[in-house]
Amino acid sequence: MPMFRSATPSQNGSNSNIHSAVHSAVHSRAHSPSDFDTSYDDSLRAQLKVRGLLPPHVESFELQKARCLEQIAQKSNTIDKYTYLSNLRNTNTNLFYRLLMDNMKEITPLVYTPVVGEACLKWSHIYTQPEGLYLSYADRGNLRAVLDNWPAEKVDITVVTDGSRILGLGDLGVNGMGIPVGKLALYTGCAGIHPERTLPITLDLGTENEENLKDPLYLGAKMHRVTEAESLEFLDEMMIALNDKWPGLVVQFEDFKNPFPSLERYRNTYTCFNDDIQGTGAVILSGMINALKLTGIPFKDQRLVFMGAGSAAVGVAKQIVQLFVKNGIPEDEARRMFWLVDSKGMVTDDRGDKLQEHKVYFSRDDNEGKQYKTLEEVVDLVRPTGLMGLCTIGGVFTESILRKMASFNDRPIIFPLSNPSSKSECTFAQAMEFTNNKAIFASGSPFPEVEADGVTYYPGQGNNMYVFPGIGLGTVLCESVHVTQEMIYASAVGLADSLTEEERAKSWLYPSLDRIRDISVSVARHVIRASQAENLDKNKTLQWLSDADLDTYIRTKMYNPAHEHSPAGSPTREIHGFDTKPHSKF
Ligand SMILES: NC(=O)c1ccc[n+]([C@@H]2O[C@H](COP(=O)([O-])OP(=O)(O)OC[C@H]3O[C@@H](n4cnc5c(N)ncnc54)[C@H](O)[C@@H]3O)[C@@H](O)[C@H]2O)c1
Ligand SMILES: O=C(O)C[C@H](O)C(=O)O
Ligand SMILES: [Mg+2]
């Protein structure tokens, strides 16, 4: 993200205090924090006027990385590691992204799920610097002017939350800012969107979190949430303002308690998508394509029980319906292969409460007047081939339920997808132990491998981080007018396609995170092709490229931190058309 520069005037004329002179030089308008990189060679140090301000040794990236990893290892708790990495991102952006890209598996959990959940819970207490834009209800009517305060000229992608449902942790209000910040860090690390072209936004529309409202350090407005209608009116203003300032930017909605109305309202007007409904739908569809094959059971005989019937559950279920329909099953039959359970029990037509609109499609009418209150009752009734958890209740896939799943199936599908780890419906170790290692497994948060009988089993991570970066990148590059359902479906196919033969042989559901940039290229290409098929791409030049050439094109457009600040200039910067004077604006 762009640096927020100190406006401290330079003290260069004064020699009274060398420390303050150096401090001022470091923070003066002449430099950005990322000028102080120990890897810069003599000529770059001279060019940037940082000779003497940096320690003399010109270091390799390997040495810089070793120091960072040592410092991270020395921190005894995860929040300190998170804070260290946030500071690194803000002071040496290129080093942060090189570290992230070279250590995806180790660093992602520290800057994203699950640690970002802990950071959001403590956000107002660990806060040190602005890292995104806060749009407050108090600023309604004036949002366009507030956008002008953002220091970057061009923005490609924004991730917007209202903090009302942060992971499975509930309404955290403006403390949810960690989510857009973390998602956009992955946009850069996984898909190469330039960090200066990303914009994290958190809306302050109030909060229902009593702890926050009582906390003197809470950084948001101390008020209850505005009404649904007021919230939509605010979103309308925001969408107009964003598109006026940065026409056609991609808007990713994230972690809204009730995201359906805004998705329906804006999907055909702006370039936007909802990550929790659509990104999650795509990533789980992709894992399911592979999981369903492993069960050996034909599509038409699958029976899927969902614990949770919220935005993510309905998004996932609808995406799998689309798979079944594309494979010849009539839609009405396909939707009847799903049983959804929410806090009131199995979702049925005659349950007695007014069902929320999004649940109606999957509501059952074949329960013969009987209501099933618990997950276990539904599992006994349905004898499912797969169990999906998106209900935010940690541990709800009990030993008894998991054992039953193993008794019904040779290879039960067990997907505890709620985040963060504490909300996961079961752990990988539990799923393996109670199914005699037969589970086909993916979870939202990362879990360690399991060793059993001399075999190492690897958990899949069914997290939308595998697709949203590629969806956004593809949309930006082909300048798609909208993000359609076909583009979302294509992203799932692009992800499923990106498994290597070796990964398939090991029955992995998802490819290794170490190859995330290759995966994002595949996802982006599929998204671009789907946009072209619907004639929504404004950048028509990509239509003439073969798939191989399109992949090359996508790669050349990706921000590569290894090229930044190189004296010869960065190919990425030139192609992107970025300001070749790095960070001059800040
Ligand atoms: N793995 C991923 O990539 C991914 C993506 C999106 C969301 N998620 C996770 O999914 C979870 C749900 O997200 P959402 O957007 O659908 O939230 P939501 O608030 O829209 O839905 C939550 C659902 O859980 C149900 N629920 C709550 N308490 C319950 C109980 N005691 N018994 C049964 N059902 C209960 C609610 O009725 C609701 O249907 C969160 O933990 C989120 O982190 C994971
Ligand atoms: O943020 C994540 O890790 C995935 C998902 O968007 C969620 O809301 O849980
Ligand atoms: Mg989310």
Q: Is 81 assigned a catalytic role?
A: no
Atom of ligand 1 nearest to the CA of 283: 3
Among the listed residues 453, 384, 398, the one whose alpha carbon sits nearest the alpha carbon of residue 427: 398
For residue 129, the CA-to-ligand 2 centroid distance in Å is 24
Token pair, residue 475, equals 């949309």
Say if residues 194 and 559 touch (Cβ distance below 8 Å). yes
Atom of ligand 2 nearest to the CA of 166: 8
| % of the chain beyond a pLDDT of 90 | 89
For residue 334, the CA-to-ligand 1 centroid distance in Å is 22
For residue 419, the CA-to-ligand 2 centroid distance in Å is 6
pLDDT of residue 124: 98
Which residue is closest in CA terms to ligand 1's atom 24? 391
Ligand 2 close to Cβ of residue 255 (< 6 A): yes
Q: Rounded mean pLDDT of 190-206? A: 97
Say if residues 231 and 237 touch (Cβ distance below 8 Å). no
pLDDT band at 565 (very low <50, low <70, confident <90, very high): low
Q: Which residue of 262, 311, 392, 491 sits with most ligand 1 atoms within 8 Å of its CB, as the best mutation to test the pocket? A: 392
Binding-site residues: 165, 254-255, 276, 419, 463
Ligand 1 close to Cβ of residue 231 (< 6 A): no
For 269, 379, 446, the CA distances from 105, given in Å and listed in that order, are: 37, 34, 9
- Mind listing the pLDDT tens digit for each residue in 521-552? 999 999 999 999 999 999 999 999 999 999 99
For 8, 122, 141, 225, 267, the CA distances from 117, given in Å and listed in that order, are: 34, 9, 32, 21, 28
Which residue is closest in CA terms to ligand 1's atom 9? 418
Ligand 2 close to Cβ of residue 276 (< 6 A): yes
Atom of ligand 2 nearest to the CA of 445: 3
Atom of ligand 1 nearest to the CA of 342: 34
pLDDT of residue 232: 96
Say if residues 405 and 379 touch (Cβ distance below 8 Å). yes
pLDDT of residue 35: 84
Q: How much is the mean pLDDT over the chain?
A: 92
Kind of pairing, strands 338-342 and 345-346? antiparallel
pLDDT band at 398 (very low <50, low <70, confident <90, very high): very high
Has residue 569 got a pLDDT over 60? no
pTM (global) more than 0.90: yes
Ligand 2 close to Cβ of residue 109 (< 6 A): no
- Mind listing the pLDDT tens digit for each residue in 245-283? 999 999 999 999 999 999 999 999 999 999 999 999 999
Which residue is closest in CA terms to ligand 2's atom 9? 167
Residue for token pair 């790669």: 555
Ligand 1 close to Cβ of residue 165 (< 6 A): yes
Catalytic entry in 82, 97, 183, 557: 183
Hey, which bits of 217-322 come out as E strands? 250-253, 272-274, 304-307
pLDDT band at 27 (very low <50, low <70, confident <90, very high): low
Binding-site residues for (S)-malate: 165, 419, 463
Binding-site residues for a divalent metal cation: 254-255, 276
Name the strand (E) or helix (H) holding 521: helix 516-533
Has residue 570 got a pLDDT over 50? no
Q: Is 112 assigned a catalytic role?
A: yes
Atom of ligand 2 nearest to the CA of 183: 1
| % of the chain beyond a pLDDT of 70 | 91
Ligand 1 close to Cβ of residue 347 (< 6 A): no
Q: Which residues of 230-244 are buried (b: 16+ CB within 10 A; e: fewer)?
A: ebeebbebbbebbbe
pLDDT of residue 122: 98
- Mind listing the pLDDT tens digit for each residue in 321-367? 999 999 999 999 999 999 999 999 999 999 999 999 999 999 999 99
Ligand 2 close to Cβ of residue 464 (< 6 A): yes
pLDDT band at 6 (very low <50, low <70, confident <90, very high): very low
Q: Rounded mean pLDDT of 215-234? A: 97
Model-level ipTM above the cut of 0.90: yes
Catalytic entry in 112, 458, 489, 510: 112
Ligand 2 close to Cβ of residue 113 (< 6 A): yes
In the chain, the domains with their CATH numbers are 31-108 (1.20.1370.30), 112-270 (3.40.50.10380), 278-463 (3.40.50.720), 467-556 (no CATH)
